[in-house]
Amino acid sequence: MLRPWKMKLAIQRDHSLPVHLQIAQYLADEIRRGRLMPGSALPGTREVAADLAVNRKTVVLAFEELAAQGWVSAQGRRGTFVAARLPGPPPDLPRASPLASGEPPYRLYGRLLERPPAVGAQAAVTFSDGVPDARLITYDVLGRAYRRALIDTARQGTSQKTENKAR
């Protein structure tokens, strides 16, 4: 055990949120709270799977989700590390567990507020949609489109050179 670190997560198997997303949500919350600092190493997927008594593939899916959202970066055989630049405010996902009692249910950019913002108050609004999810790209279709565009461009370039020589 090179990176001793215990996850204090109780998996809720009857919850509507899949187990891998519960794990991802928990780790993102720990990063937001500052328990996991940028650059710190996460334990291996086998170790986390053994701690939580889940299949390793479930933990791999959670780590992949975190990487897609920008919370962590996988560095080959070195391991998975908390990203140096953390993403902006996370989307509102269903929570694996309700907020602790006494905390207000309002969230704005990851901070808990005392009360909801006043109407007409000066507030920063972010319209960024973030980064595209690379897992949704259909590479074969994109590859065919690029190939077709390159072939058409090459053919047009060849026909223009032939016309210029004929003049």
pLDDT tens digit sequence for 21-30: 999 988 988 8
pLDDT of residue 98: 45
Q: Report the pLDDT value the prediction gives residue 88, as an integer from 0 to 100.
A: 67
Q: Nearest-CA neighbor of 62 among 83, 41, 48? A: 48
Residue 24 has phi, psi (to 5 degrees) of -65, -40
What pLDDT score was predicted for residue 166? 62
pTM (whole model) above 0.85: no
Calpha distance 27→35 (Å, rounded): 9
Fold of 1-97+107-114: Arc Repressor Mutant, subunit A (1.10.10)
Closest by CA position to 62, among listed 84, 155, 124, 71: 71
Name the band, by pLDDT with cuts 50, 70 and 90, for residue 151. Answer: very high
Q: What percent of the chain has pLDDT over 70?
A: 66
Provide the pLDDT confidence category of residue 113 given band limits of 50, 70 and 90: very low
pLDDT band at 125; cut points 50, 70, 90: low
The structural domains of the chain, with segments of one domain joined by +, span 1-97+107-114, 137-167
CB 52 within 8 A of CB 59: yes
